[in-house]
Chains A and B, each alone.
Chain A
């Protein structure tokens, strides 16, 4: 438990949380390792767990028939994979697959939602951090859609 607390404290997503809130998170956390090619979650599954990546690399992707997997975004050390645990209907929208050996802290979203209901301060802090993640992803997605490396005309 002490180690998990240390890992949590060091991760940018949970940096700055007070001890009480960190302890609440530790109660919902576990250490996980994924081998290259292993899936963290699949599109359509219940979003019960999300991951704070400590080492390695994860690709968020979707699968198109006759095209195969299409990569959307990569997540690396210090980043978070998954926000659907916070937003109904709590289902994953994409697949997440480890590209290389990946170490992460898995946080039980169901467990955390329960704790957020009981401790609204924790709920507010986590909602702020998840909203910030969603905003970053939205901005990145918009830039991808803009296809900014398009043609000039000389």
Chain B
């Protein structure tokens, strides 16, 4: 379907991919000292927001700028769009400063998501670091909503300190279930933290799953993902069973501007989620 610059429908419905839609900030909750989760209500005429786990939106604060942020909500609840934002730059700080009742520009969803429908029947190992849990959260929601279609589900999450753990309530809720194994670790801890201390990669050797029939979904800082990939390879997990989410300087969101180009690929359009086999030539290259 041809689109024009006057087509005000959302991009997902074939509308103008450049046009932000005004979403209402319904709720803001603090995850950590600098990280917030926003629950947004789509414009009534959009009829909800449909996305795939792992996709992202461009978030526009009027008069300040636009940034790509992964969707962190439940794909089964299109009436609410959820984003988890860490306030570290001008735009993200402005987003974090929004109050319920204000508006945020949204265009998307963009990119390829986690292959949740292609990995049925397999064990699923989810490894997240820091705010990297946010892009994986929709995948966890999806997997648990379709629990019978998968083998073991293991979630390993690492954060800097206990105070930096995001989506803590979800982690506690998931840990209380009997059909998903949840392991949480922090790099540093003092005082009364009784949980695990150590980098997230130290868990990989001891995880109980079937390396010959599994899918590993990995998201976090790229250094963490590189060492995680090494750990998974040591466990004989094949590269084509490992999926990573790349973060690059995405601007247009539709593969035109080239800001996010990595090798032959545009992260905004071909990613951000890649099968490792499609990215391994550039994933460990120093200059990339």
Do these two chains really belong together in a complex?
Answer: yes
Q: How far is the CB of B228 from chain A (nearest CB, A)?
A: 10
- State whether A149 touches B129 (Cβ < 8 A): yes
Asked whether any CB of chain B lies closer than 8 Å to the CB of A122, the reply is: no
- State whether A71 touches B89 (Cβ < 8 A): no
Give CA–CA (A143, B186) in the complex, Å: 12
Within 8 A of B (CB), among A137-154: 139-140, 143-144, 146-154
State which of A68, A78, A149, A154 has its C-beta within 8 Å of the C-beta of B191: A68
Asked whether any CB of chain A lies closer than 8 Å to the CB of B44, the reply is: no
User: Which of A136, A139, A143, A154 gathers the greatest number of chain B CB atoms within 10 Å?
Assistant: A154
Instruction: Specify which chain A residues have a CB less than 8 angstroms from the CB of B68 in the assembled complex.
Output: 154
Q: How far is the CB of B83 from chain A (nearest CB, A)?
A: 12
State which of B206, B220, B221 has its C-beta within 8 Å of the C-beta of A76: B206
Asked whether any CB of chain A lies closer than 8 Å to the CB of B227, the reply is: yes
Give CA–CA (A67, B217) in the complex, Å: 37
Chain B interface residues toward A at CB < 8 A:
67-68, 86, 88-89, 91-92, 129-131, 158-160, 164, 185, 187-191, 193-199, 201-202, 206, 220-221, 223-224, 227, 247
Asked whether any CB of chain B lies closer than 8 Å to the CB of A16, the reply is: no
Mind listing 25 A-B residue pairs with CB under 8 Å?
A71-B189, A71-B193, A71-B197, A72-B197, A73-B198, A74-B196, A79-B206, A100-B194, A140-B199, A140-B202, A143-B199, A143-B223, A143-B227, A144-B187, A144-B188, A144-B199, A146-B223, A148-B199, A149-B129, A149-B158, A149-B164, A151-B86, A152-B88, A152-B247, A153-B89
Instruction: Specify which chain A residues have a CB less than 8 angstroms from the CB of B247 in the assembled complex.
Output: 152
Give CA–CA (A19, B191) in the complex, Å: 44
State which of B191, B202, B224 has its C-beta within 8 Å of the C-beta of A148: B224
Instruction: Specify which chain A residues have a CB less than 8 angstroms from the CB of B129 in the assembled complex.
Output: 148-149
Asked whether any CB of chain B lies closer than 8 Å to the CB of A44, the reply is: no
State which of B130, B190, B202 has its C-beta within 8 Å of the C-beta of A71: B190
Asked whether any CB of chain B lies closer than 8 Å to the CB of A15, the reply is: no
- Per DSSP, are chain A's interface residues mostly helix, strand or loop, or mixed? mixed
Within 8 A of B (CB), among A20-54: none
Known: A74-B198, A143-B199, A147-B160. A67 touches B190 (CB 8 A): yes
State which of A57, A76, A140, A149 has its C-beta within 8 Å of the C-beta of B201: A140
Give CA–CA (A151, B34) in the complex, Å: 10
Instruction: Specify which chain A residues have a CB less than 8 angstroms from the CB of B223 in the assembled complex.
Output: 143, 146, 148
B190 and chain A: residue at smallest CB distance:
A70
Give CA–CA (A151, B206) in the complex, Å: 30
A136 and chain B: residue at smallest CB distance:
B202
- State whether A151 touches B194 (Cβ < 8 A): no
Q: How far is the CB of B270 from chain A (nearest CB, A)?
A: 21
Give CA–CA (A144, B188) in the complex, Å: 8
Instruction: Specify which chain B residues have a CB less than 8 angstroms from the CB of A69 in the assembled complex.
Output: 190
Instruction: Specify which chain A residues have a CB less than 8 angstroms from the CB of B91 in the assembled complex.
Output: 154
Instruction: Specify which chain B residues have a CB less than 8 angstroms from the CB of A59 in the assembled complex.
Output: 197
Instruction: Specify which chain A residues have a CB less than 8 angstroms from the CB of B227 in the assembled complex.
Output: 139, 143
Q: How far is the CB of A125 from chain B (nearest CB, A)?
A: 19
Give CA–CA (A74, B158) in the complex, Å: 13
Within 8 A of B (CB), among A60-107: 67-74, 76, 78-79, 99-100
Give CA–CA (A59, B193) in the complex, Å: 11
Q: Considering the complex of A and B, which 10 residue pairs feature the smallest CB-CB distances, nearest first?
A: A149-B130, A71-B197, A149-B160, A154-B67, A143-B199, A71-B189, A154-B89, A73-B198, A74-B196, A148-B221
* Given A148-B130, A149-B130, A152-B86, 11 extra CB contacts under 8 A: A71-B189, A74-B195, A76-B206, A139-B201, A139-B227, A140-B201, A144-B199, A147-B160, A147-B187, A149-B131, A149-B187
Give CA–CA (A123, B213) in the complex, Å: 38
Give CA–CA (A140, B231) in the complex, Å: 12
